[in-house]
Chains A and B, each alone.
Chain A
Amino acid sequence: MSKPKLPAMDGWFTMDAAAPHLLGSRCTQCKSYFFPREALFCRNPSCAGREFEDVPLSRNGTLWSYTTNHYQPPAPYVSPEPFVPYTVAAVELAAERMVVLGQLAHGVDPKTLKVGMAVELVLETLYTDDKAEYVVWKWKPAAV
């Protein structure tokens, strides 16, 4: 029997495998977006907002920068054994006008990446333990 899939971080993204979204918040007063969600005070110094609405962030963006890590990071990173290099991407979201990080989806050759290319959000397993598969958001070059 396959293990249940759980988010590696509760409340940061939807678990809709076909079209996942990161979950941010937006100040109801100045309309600034925040990721991860902000719930207490608006961080815009010109805004006294204290109320926020949860908003799914755009699941498409453009690649701002990226890097492939060839050394195993320290804990709390959970590494496969043996360690496998992985790529981290910084992606610019047009509507929100912000850059959000995420790992690059498994199996994408980083040599095919270019700053400015279109990417979309997907879900993948980050690590597995005895109880569950823990899922995280990743970025993947958008299907043309």
Chain B
Amino acid sequence: MAKEVAILGVGMHPWGKWGKNFVEYGVKACQDALADAGLEWKDIQFISGADTVRCGYPGYVAGATFAQALGWSGARVASSYAACASGATAMNTARAQILAGFCDVALVVGADTTPKGFLAPTAGERRDDPDWLRFRLLGATNPTYFAFYARRRMDVYGATDRDFAKVKVKNSKHGLANPNARYRKEVTEEEVLSSAMVSDPLRLLEICATSDGGAAVVLSSMDFARKRTTKPITVAAISTVTPRYPNTVIEMPNFATDSAASARVPDIAFRDSIAAAAYEEAGLGPEDMSLAEVYDLSSALELDWYENIGLCKPGEAERLLNDGATTLGGRVPVNPSGGLSCFGEAVPAQAIAQVCELVWQLRGQATGRQVDGANAGVTANQGLFGHGSSVIVKKG
């Protein structure tokens, strides 16, 4: 079991399409997290920023950007980029600083302002960039890859359009009372199934939108936390694994998988290894989880995650969903926050937002979406280019 750090405070700026500078969202999230922790910015010894690459300079140096906005204090700084997993990587950086004894208390923050529509590659003629080439040569948007996985579920496991729509219906109910969610409107299966087809079999209401938002957490050493609370919420694990060779599942933004012609295929596939590494680090298993926040970039992808994080065996996710196990009130609610389905994605903030939700759930503060008796939860997420991300949070 790994050494633990405490989560003293969490904060978010509501998700939406606000059209403001991302720094504003991040600062609001930081101020809320600091107030939640009962600390002031000047108490923070280390600031760990999750980078956005879309907002240009100084978006590339997120940690210092937020430090400047909060007021230069001399705090030490780091910035992390791991695409959708940036938030977990930034948290892991802060955790390592604390566990190494370099600091007692750290602030982790991510925020983004997103363009409308599809996420597009960086402009210019970029023939050495696979992310540019996949758009040029294939028209392989992000939903193209999500749709490959959805189609596989249908053809291999017999999943139906209706199963996928039910994920959206569930999440739309979960997010209704979440003040930070962007979409707070209940939808029916019929509404999902009559929304525009984007990447067959995935429809508009089943694909994650791009959003603005910001999220922050205050981490501290256990000693520091015990002086302030008798019941700290702790980070039991942070997994930031990369794939093992050969990775035989086609991943964004690649043109091809690795070849398994001569190298032995690993015992555990990449997406399964993400939470597995977190469980191992925490000394816990999927059966210990009260809830999960997973990266539902599409409705169908949430079903893949049920299997990837060990809630059920491969091919059983549709049954788990249809039995109500992953709905609030069920055995292990998934995405009680409403998930990306209700938030859209604010890339560098999203993995941090997942952890904020776990903390509110474990404290019993998730009004209108509370998982009864939540003791431990897991997040799962995967960032472009091979960034795994999974965080386990539990009651200390």
Contact = CB atoms under 8 A, between A and B. Distances in A.
Contact of A43 (B120, B144, B150, B245): B245
B237 to A, nearest CB: 24
Nearest to B199: A67
Interface in A41-82: 43-47, 64-71, 73-79
Interface in B103-150: 117-118, 120-121, 123, 125-127, 130, 132-141, 143-144, 147-150
A102 to B, nearest CB: 7
Contact of A115 (B127, B152, B202): B152
A97 B261 CA distance: 5
A74 B54 CA distance: 15
B200 A74 contact: no
B144 A99 contact: no
Given A34-B259, A115-B155, A74 B118 contact: yes
B241 to A, nearest CB: 14
A100 B144 contact: no
B229 interface: no
A132 interface: no
A101 B250 contact: yes
Given A75-B120, A98-B256, A67 B151 contact: yes
A77 B249 CA distance: 24
Contact of A74 (B120, B126, B144, B260): B120
Contacts of A70: 196-200
Contact of A33 (B138, B254, B259): B259
Contacts of B126: 76
Contacts of A116: 155
Contact of A30 (B121, B147, B254, B262): B262
A78 B138 CA distance: 10
B257 interface: yes
A6 interface: no
B121 A76 contact: yes
Given A69-B199, A70-B199, A74-B120, A96 B155 contact: no
B156 interface: yes
Name the interface size band of chain A. Answer: 35 or more
Nearest to A12: B137
Q: SS class of chain B's interface: helix, strand, loop or mixed?
A: loop
Contacts of A99: 248-250, 256-257
B260 A69 contact: no
A88 B151 contact: no
Contact of A101 (B132, B138, B156, B245): B138
A97 B258 CA distance: 8
B250 A77 contact: no
A86 B202 CA distance: 15
A65 B152 contact: yes
Nearest to A29: B262
Interface of B: 117-118, 120-121, 123, 125-127, 130, 132-141, 143-144, 147-152, 155-156, 196-202, 245-246, 248-250, 254-263
30 contacts: A8-B136, A9-B133, A31-B261, A32-B246, A32-B263, A44-B245, A44-B263, A65-B147, A65-B149, A66-B151, A67-B147, A67-B150, A67-B199, A67-B201, A70-B200, A73-B118, A73-B135, A75-B120, A76-B121, A78-B136, A88-B139, A88-B144, A90-B250, A97-B260, A98-B260, A99-B248, A101-B254, A101-B255, A103-B139, A116-B155
